[in-house]
Structure 1
Amino acid sequence: MIPSRTSGVSYNHRVRLMLHALEDDFLSCAYLGVKGGSFLITFSNPAEYCTVSPRVYVIPDTYTKIQITPFVKKINSDLMWRSLEIRQCYLHNERKLSIFQQYTELNCNHECEINKTISMCGCIMIEATCNNCFILIYTLKSVGIYLITRNLNFEQTLV
């Protein structure tokens, strides 16, 4: 699935998705309280490491409205000129990450975890490379795996 993006921030710029699937294609998750099946939607900043939270489970044959309210941290202009020791944080233009293209707090934390793991055992978890590599989408009935590369080329492999 190609990530959906809007070009603005009003009601007219909303993203609408409709999924056409057979009922047997949905995964029942009794331990999550989802008996009739559901599908999972995740939300993420495209510049950051992909995570499974925040997430929402959507039940078939329902209309679900999801509203995202962004929170933007802004620094006081007087603090920008203070030393790093006083601020105790980097600004986005003060440090370049070696793995991620954009400097964010979340990307910085993930890179620190990855670097620490590499220094301790010389390896990393396969999930740690998902931002630079590909995303696996498993379809339940056909058991097909779609590889979506960063330049959004699709290939299907049957298992």
Structure 2
Amino acid sequence: MSNQVVEKTEELVTPILDEMNLYLVDVEFEKEGKNWFLRVYIDKDGGVDIEECGKVSEQLSEKLDENDPVSVPYFLEVSSPGVERPLKNKKDFEENIGKTVYVKLYEPLDNSKEFEGVLNEFTGDSLKLEIKVKSRKKEVEIPYEKIAKARLAVTFN
């Protein structure tokens, strides 16, 4: 059910976002406690504001009511992905070269499944991260297909 809800929501929200010059970052349909949440993360260059999120929410809510892809009661949330936005596809990696990212892998690489560092390079098949090991910097190459999750990471200097 969850994948079908996500796919249908993506299909319904895309024309709304196109009309407003926004883009879709992610859609999640998750149960937390007793409640279901349909979360839609949107963005644009320079970021989105609460008014834009509200307009998308109103229009999407109407479309969801008309098409009824969700069979259980749920809460709809439309928001910005925030500073630690997920990196969901190759384009996201390409656009964030030079930024600090957190990457979690399906299987260990160099005895670790989690890495955080500066994204130095992305070829489409792999990415190179500059990580710190104690006080030294080291470059690690991670195959793209081994990435389970990735997001931007906030660093404080």
Q: TM-score, normalising length from structure 1?
A: 0.21
Asked which structure has the greater CA Rg, the reply is 1
Q: Which has the higher helix share?
A: 2
Q: TM-score, normalising length from structure 2?
A: 0.21
Which one has more relative contact order, counting CA pairs under 8 Å at least 6 apart?
2
Q: Which has the higher strand share?
A: 2
